[in-house]
Amino acid sequence: MEKEKNKTASWLKGHVYDVAAYAGLVITIILFLIFSGDKLMYNATTVLQTVAPYAIISLGAVFVYSMGFMDVSVGQQVGVYAILYILISNKMGGTTAGVAVAFIVVLAIALACGAFNGAVAVWLGLPSIVTSLFLMFFFTGAQLLLMEGTGNTSISIQAKIKPMDRNQYTLMLIIAIAVVAVLVTYFFKYTKFGKYTKAIGANEIAAEQSGVNTTKWKVFAYMAFGVTVAIGAFIMLTRTGSAGKGTGTGFAMDVMICLILGGMPLSGGMKSKVSSALVGTFTYVLLSNDLTTMGVDLNMINFLKAVIFIIIVMITCRKRDGVLPR
Amino acid sequence: MKTSKKIMALALTGALAASSVSVVSVSAEPKKATIGVCFYQDTGKAPNATKAFLESLADTLNVEFKYGTFTQTDEAANLTKVQELIASGVDGIIGTMDLGTQSILSECEAAGIYYAGYLCDFDTSYTTAYDDVFGNSNFLGTVVDGHAPDDVNIGDQFFDSLIEYNERNADAPLTHVSMAVFPVWAFPAQTTAAEQFVADVEEYNKTAETPITVDPLDEEVDVLNFAPLDSTYFSKHPDTQAIMSFAAGTSFVYPTMVSAGVDSDIKLFTTGADGGEETNFGSAGTQTYQQIAFTGAESIVYPLVLMLNKINDTEFADMPEKAERISTELYIVNSDEDMELYVNSLYNTADAANAAYTPEDVLNMTAFGNPDATYAGLVEAVQTLTY
């Protein structure tokens, strides 16, 4: 009996972060079911629409965060990619071929930026956050310049990139999330890629001395992240059909919050999990949705979000020498 | 003196509207409605005054209001906010931002609810997607904070304020002024207003004994990219005696004037009012502020009444086929007398007891509350807030 108790206590101690993350998700789902009332189905589809781009980008971010790194340029990249999708496809007459060309161009840029982010940080011996800061400023300028060229604050895509039927669109989003989740899970859990990124997060020097080419895997991690940013930007564009000077603002912070809410340790390492991206994203979006449907005062919503965030950070941060990623 | 009349008309308009209530009987009990209102920021003079005004109407109009905030930059975030409000059961949404409007309207259409604008010219939609937005039966129109870009007169009003100041201070008139605006891509009406102001001054100078010099707009320092005025502004305009800030000067110009130590020497004529201006306004304190301007929160009756008509299955006989954008007159405060009235206004106090319209006045503007009510009457009620 005593042994059983100790076993449970020991399991709980080892999984306190997971329990906290899943408990958060369960609570937000219960509130969602209660307060959605007769709009449950509608609300479920809207939650899924909001979740989709965050989930896809957060899934890619798992590779970067598992190394204990982060990328603050995500928001600006999303903005520029969304604008490029529109400009290129509109230039090609709003055709499906135009959208395909735009996607290839954006994907190439995203891969190049990922490679830059990973490689330059290693070669110059800089914390990766510094190179992502550079990219953030670069993309901020690019976003403004691209929009200045259009003479508008916001532009719309001419091509049809979203099914007219709401159910079909919902299915499309579910498939997109599922495909990315399966691929990321496979690479993160069952290949060297995931093992090495986690090893870098746990102890980079030890990983290096074990023969892991840390530079190569860092670059790959950022490139994988870039791919999901390109896909996420496209999924976001299917929702709104438009983009502008401020599209993507705050995305980097949102992705970080999603991962932390999902139990991703800021310091990365062996306890990093793909599920953090999905659990955290759903919790984050449902939390905002619940507070609105519950009729919580506007100012209170921001306050509550801040309180919940800081509590989760304090619970999940296990890094001895600080709280921020490298 | 002229502008004092303008602002006093606010009280008169309310009194006139109230007097008409007594002779018109309410035809039907309004249906219970829930309306979402999304502001461009959480708090501030305009949101606070609008909330207070709306809450004062809630019982009489049988409406529950739910509030949210739109971002000024992110289409997806605004769409999410709209979806959350729809999920919470609103019958209509009043928004203050033209960002992602087409996707928002698609969502409103699918949910069978209405959408309308407030304090926003919806210029992007107006110029690039007019049929999709203004031709959409779920979009009911918008009321602009001041004049729409194709209907600007704020430049004339700045000129009037300057001349009135010079008449009051004939011994030390302002003869050299400079300007500040937000970028044309964001607020095209401001650049138009600046051009209008320059044209008015040029016309005035033809016969004036003491001509006025206006420094032309300098792209580098006079166009504020939503950041405070740069301190180099004063070296670029070394002779300026007053800044005509078509951009929100209280937040973006005044702090730089104070930190540069020129607030006692240079006057500020501006749009916007954030509170606290009275301390250094007109003949008080440092006398920096010589004009502030604001839009009456009562102008929200335009989208509100149109939305309530739809929810109550009623319509004005003279309702236009397509949605419209309606300009409003800004309240111009440019004398000590105006300031006394401003201090006690709904905008400054967020006290609905100071509003131009009572709940009964607003009910009287609706088609279900007053069978004789007209669209023209509603537009007039919004546009006569100051005149």
Q: Which one is predicted more confidently, B18 or A102?
A: A102
Does B86 lie at the interface with A, CB-CB under 8 angstroms?
yes
The answer to the question of residue A10 being in a domain is: no
Does B232 lie at the interface with A, CB-CB under 8 angstroms?
no
Q: Is the pLDDT of residue A71 over 70?
A: yes
Q: Is the pLDDT of residue B147 over 90?
A: no
Give the burial string for B92-131 (b: 16+ CB within 10 Å, else e): bbbbbbbbbbbbbbbbbeebebbbbbbbbbbbbbbebbee
Q: Identify which of A289, A295, A298 has the shortest CB distance to residue B42.
A: A298
The answer to the question of residue A267 being in a domain is: yes
Does B128 lie at the interface with A, CB-CB under 8 angstroms?
yes
pLDDT of residue A313: 67
In single-letter form, the type of residue at position A73 comes to S
User: Which chain A residues are Cβ-neighbours of B99 within 8 angstroms?
Assistant: 153-154, 244, 246
* Last residue within a domain, chosen from B294, B322, B343: B294
Q: Is the pLDDT of residue B224 over 90?
A: yes
pLDDT of residue A325: 45
Q: CATH number, domain at A91?
A: 1.10.3470.10
- CA B15, CA B9: separation in Å to the nearest integer? 9
Residue range A16-49, pLDDT digits in tens = 777 888 988 999 999 999 988 888 998 999 999 9
CA A104 vs. chain centroid, Å, equals: 21
Q: Which two tokens stand for residue A13?
A: 């101690």
The answer to the question of residue A6 being in a domain is: no
The answer to the question of residue A58 being in a domain is: yes
Structure confidence at residue A298 as a pLDDT band (50, 70, 90): low
- Assess whether B91 and B139 both reside in one domain: yes
- Assess whether B218 and B273 both reside in one domain: yes
Q: CATH number, domain at B219?
A: 3.40.50.2300
Q: Is the pLDDT of residue B9 over 80?
A: no
- Assess whether B111 and B210 both reside in one domain: no
Q: Compute the average pLDDT of residues B331-348.
A: 91
Q: Which two tokens stand for residue A72?
A: 């603050």
- Assess whether B7 and B142 both reside in one domain: yes
pLDDT of residue A126: 80
- Assess whether B113 and B132 both reside in one domain: yes
- Assess whether B208 and B142 both reside in one domain: no
Give the minimum alpha-carbon distance from A277 to chain B in angstroms, rounded to a whole number. Answer: 19
The closest of A126, A133, A85, A130 to A106, measured between CA atoms, is: A85
Q: Is the pLDDT of residue B5 over 50?
A: no
Q: Compute the average pLDDT of residues A263-279.
A: 89
The answer to the question of residue A8 being in a domain is: no
For residue B61, give its domain range: 2-146+295-331+352-383
The answer to the question of residue B80 being in a domain is: yes
Q: Is the pLDDT of residue A322 over 80?
A: no
Which residues make Cβ contacts (< 8 Å) with residue B166, sequence separation at least 6? B173, B174, B210
- Assess whether B186 and B141 both reside in one domain: no
The answer to the question of residue A1 being in a domain is: no
Average pLDDT, chain B: 89
pLDDT of residue B386: 58
Which of B48, B72, B80 is the mutation pick for testing A, counting most A CBs within 10 A? B80
The answer to the question of residue B336 being in a domain is: no
Q: Compute the average pLDDT of residues A195-213.
A: 92
CB contact under 8 Å between A152 and B111, yes or no, is no
CB B336, CB B284: distance < 8 Å: yes
The answer to the question of residue B342 being in a domain is: no
Does B89 lie at the interface with A, CB-CB under 8 angstroms?
yes
CB contact under 8 Å between B185 and A46, yes or no, is no
- Assess whether B196 and B139 both reside in one domain: no
Q: Is the pLDDT of residue B25 over 80?
A: no
CB contact under 8 Å between B84 and A292, yes or no, is yes
The closest of B149, B128, B237, B145 to B195, measured between CA atoms, is: B149
**Closest-CA residue of chain B to A75:** B74
A137: buried, middle or exposed (CB in 10 Å: 19+, 13-18, 0-12)?
A: exposed
Q: Which one is predicted more confidently, A325 or A125?
A: A125
Give the minimum alpha-carbon distance from B83 to chain A in angstroms, rounded to a whole number. Answer: 6
Q: Identify which of A43, A46, A249 has the shortest CB distance to residue B74.
A: A249
Q: Which one is predicted more confidently, B166 or A264?
A: B166
pLDDT of residue A292: 82
Q: Which two tokens stand for residue A203?
A: 């102890």
ipTM of the modeled complex? 0.76
Give the minimum alpha-carbon distance from A315 to chain B in angstroms, rounded to a whole number. Answer: 28
The answer to the question of residue B197 being in a domain is: yes
- Three-class DSSP labels, chain A: CHHHHHHHHHHHHHCHHHHHHHHHHHHHHHHHHHHHHHHHHHHHHHHHHHHHHHHHHHHHHHHHHHCCCCCCCHHHHHHHHHHHHHHHHHHCCCCHHHHHHHHHHHHHHHHHHHHHHHHHHHHCCCCHHHHHHHHHHHHHHHHHHHHHHHCCCEEECCCCCCCCCHHHHHHHHHHHHHHHHHHHHHHHHHCHHHHHHHHHHHCHHHHHHCCCCHHHHHHHHHHHHHHHHHHHHHHHHHHHCEEECCCCCCHHHHHHHHHHHCCCCCCCCCCCCCHHHHHHHHHHHHHHHHHHHCCCCHHHHHHHHHHHHHHHHHHHCCCCCCCCCC
CB contact under 8 Å between A241 and B102, yes or no, is yes
CB A291, CB A85: distance < 8 Å: no
Which of B:157-186 have CB within 8 Å of A?
185-186
Among A12-26, A52-66, B185-199, B280-294, which is the least confidently predicted range?
A12-26
pLDDT of residue B229: 95
Does A149 lie at the interface with B, CB-CB under 8 angstroms?
no
- Assess whether B75 and B91 both reside in one domain: yes
Among A180-189, A216-225, A273-282, B269-278, which is the least confidently predicted range?
B269-278
CB B271, CB B246: distance < 8 Å: yes
pLDDT of residue A17: 74
Q: Compute the average pLDDT of residues B131-144.
A: 94
- Assess whether B271 and B370 both reside in one domain: no
The answer to the question of residue B341 being in a domain is: no
Q: Is the pLDDT of residue A176 over 50?
A: yes
- CA B17, CA B9: separation in Å to the nearest integer? 12
- CA B356, CA B51: separation in Å to the nearest integer? 15
In single-letter form, the type of residue at position B133 comes to V
Q: Which one is predicted more confidently, A13 or A233?
A: A233
Does A42 lie at the interface with B, CB-CB under 8 angstroms?
yes
User: Which chain B residues are Cβ-neighbours of A147 within 8 angstroms?
Assistant: 185
Q: Compute the average pLDDT of residues A254-261.
A: 89
The answer to the question of residue A225 being in a domain is: yes
**Closest-CA residue of chain B to A42:** B87
In single-letter form, the type of residue at position B152 comes to V
Q: Which one is predicted more confidently, A265 or B338?
A: B338
Does B36 lie at the interface with A, CB-CB under 8 angstroms?
no
User: Which chain A residues are Cβ-neighbours of B67 within 8 angstroms?
Assistant: 297-298
- Assess whether B113 and B25 both reside in one domain: yes
Share of chain A above pLDDT 70, in %: 94
Q: Is the pLDDT of residue A14 over 80?
A: no
Calculate the dihedral angle through the C-alpha atoms of B126, B129, B133, B137, rounding to the nearest 10 degrees: 120
- CA A74, CA A57: separation in Å to the nearest integer? 9
The answer to the question of residue A83 being in a domain is: yes
Q: Compute the average pLDDT of residues B63-74.
A: 88
In single-letter form, the type of residue at position A194 comes to G
Residue recorded with tokens 């031709």: B135
For residue A178, give its domain range: 18-316
CB B294, CB B347: distance < 8 Å: yes
Q: Compute the average pLDDT of residues A256-272.
A: 87
- Residue B59 backbone phi and psi in degrees, to 5: -65, -50
The number of distinct structural domains making up chain A is: 1
**Closest-CA residue of chain A to B76:** A240
- Residue B93 backbone phi and psi in degrees, to 5: -130, 135
Q: Is the pLDDT of residue A296 over 70?
A: yes
CB contact under 8 Å between A153 and B124, yes or no, is yes
Which of A36, A154, A285, A293 is the mutation pick for testing B, counting most B CBs within 10 A? A154
CB contact under 8 Å between A156 and B186, yes or no, is no
The number of distinct structural domains making up chain B is: 2
Q: Is the pLDDT of residue A312 over 80?
A: no
B203: buried, middle or exposed (CB in 10 Å: 19+, 13-18, 0-12)?
A: exposed
Q: Which two tokens stand for residue B358?
A: 């009572």
Question: For the range A95-98, what are the long-range contacts, defined as Cβ-Cβ under 8 Å and sequence gap of 24 or more?
Answer: A95/A159, A96/A159, A98/A159
Structure confidence at residue B29 as a pLDDT band (50, 70, 90): confident
User: Which chain B residues are Cβ-neighbours of A288 within 8 angstroms?
Assistant: 80, 84
- Assess whether B265 and B309 both reside in one domain: no
Q: Identify which of B71, B75, B85 has the shortest CB distance to residue A292.
A: B85
User: Which chain B residues are Cβ-neighbours of A46 within 8 angstroms?
Assistant: 80, 83-84, 86-87
Does A73 lie at the interface with B, CB-CB under 8 angstroms?
no
CB B284, CB B278: distance < 8 Å: yes
